[in-house]
């Protein structure tokens, strides 16, 4: 799993990719629930499978931190629909 760091000041999680490239997952927090509002893979890293890397790292972190998510970002909605193993992290 790729290294992930939390940047609470900017309301995002940073996931290390290759070299200095970093994916970002932006959120709004309400209690123990994160509305995942946007994700970003650097342009030069797109199309290389890093969306999955970003989501796997982020969702492992959510599970370890006992946080739930509400997918707002269309990519996160798509990913969650295609990967039922993460359904327990969806806020009801």
Read off the pLDDT of residues 83-92 as tens digits, 9 standing for 90 and up. 999 999 999 8
In this predicted structure, the answer to whether residue 20 has a pLDDT above a threshold of 70 is: yes
In tens, the pLDDT along 26-67 reads 999 999 999 999 999 999 999 999 999 999 999 999 999 999
Predicted pLDDT of residue 1: 64
What does the CA dihedral 77, 90, 64, 72 come to, rounded to 10 degrees? 40
The pLDDT of 8-21, averaged and rounded, is 95
Residues 6+ apart with CB under 8 A from 9: none
């Amino acid at each position: 799993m790729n290294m992930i760091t939390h940047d609470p000041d900017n309301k995002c999680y940073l996931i290390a990719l290759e070299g200095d490239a970093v994916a970002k997952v932006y959120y709004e927090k309400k209690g123990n629930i994160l509305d995942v509002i946007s994700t970003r893979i650097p342009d030069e890293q797109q199309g290389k499978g890093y969306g999955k890397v970003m989501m796997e790292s982020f969702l492992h972190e959510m599970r370890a931190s006992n946080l739930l998510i509400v997918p707002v970002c269309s990519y996160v909605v798509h990913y969650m629909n295609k990967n039922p193993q993460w359904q327990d992290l969806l806020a009801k």
